[in-house]
Amino acid sequence: MARKLSRRVVAAWARFIHVEQSLLEAVEGDLKAAGLPPLVWYDVLLELTRAPDGRLRQRDLQARVLLAKYNLSRLIDRMAEEGLVTRVPVAEDARGAYITTTEAGRRLQRRIWPVYGRSIARRFAAHLDEADVAELDRILAKLMAASS
């Protein structure tokens, strides 16, 4: 049985959600102002470049990005239309495909990072010292482990 939630717990939860949403909206605004696509495009390209051979099955990509499955399919379609990713059939699975990044996708990822990095620095890192970051990282790791 879960413990009774204190007002402090509920307030901290609400603040956590509000901060997460505000930071992501600010980053999205910075990307848009720079004429760049949404952050999820960067996340998809990053996960593909981190993957062995630069490719992932869509279901594996789904597990790595924070996006509903039906939205990921549409996003991959759109990114493929832009020439940023391709679908490569899986020989042993007629219905399956690998998603791979193209050179244009890798170039876009490299163009997005400086804007994204500056946004993280200005909107997040500038407000925390190293002790704050270490403590926040410890707490988030604890929450992440509990949610697995």
pLDDT digits (tens, 9 = 90+) for 28-74: 999 999 999 999 999 999 999 999 888 999 889 988 997 676 688 89
pLDDT digits (tens, 9 = 90+) for 116-142: 999 999 999 999 999 999 999 999 999
**Is residue 148, in this structure, part of any structural domain at all?**
no
DSSP code per residue over the chain: -PPPPPHHHHHHHHHHHHHHHHHHHHHHHHHHHTT---HHHHHHHHHHHHSGGGEEEHHHHHHHSSS-HHHHHHHHHHHHHTTSEEEEEETTEEEEEEEEE-HHHHHHHHHHHHHHHHHHHHHTGGG--HHHHHHHHHHHHHHHHHH-
**Is residue 106, in this structure, part of any structural domain at all?**
yes
Total structural domains within the chain? 1
* Model pTM score: 0.87
Residue 52: the pLDDT is 86
**Is residue 92, in this structure, part of any structural domain at all?**
yes
Q: CA-to-CA distance for 44 and 85, rounded, in angstroms?
A: 9
CATH number at residue 82: 1.10.10.10
Band (pLDDT 50/70/90 cuts) for residue 2 is low
**Is residue 5, in this structure, part of any structural domain at all?**
no
Q: CA-to-CA distance for 64 and 61, rounded, in angstroms?
A: 5
Q: Which residues form the domain of 20?
A: 10-143
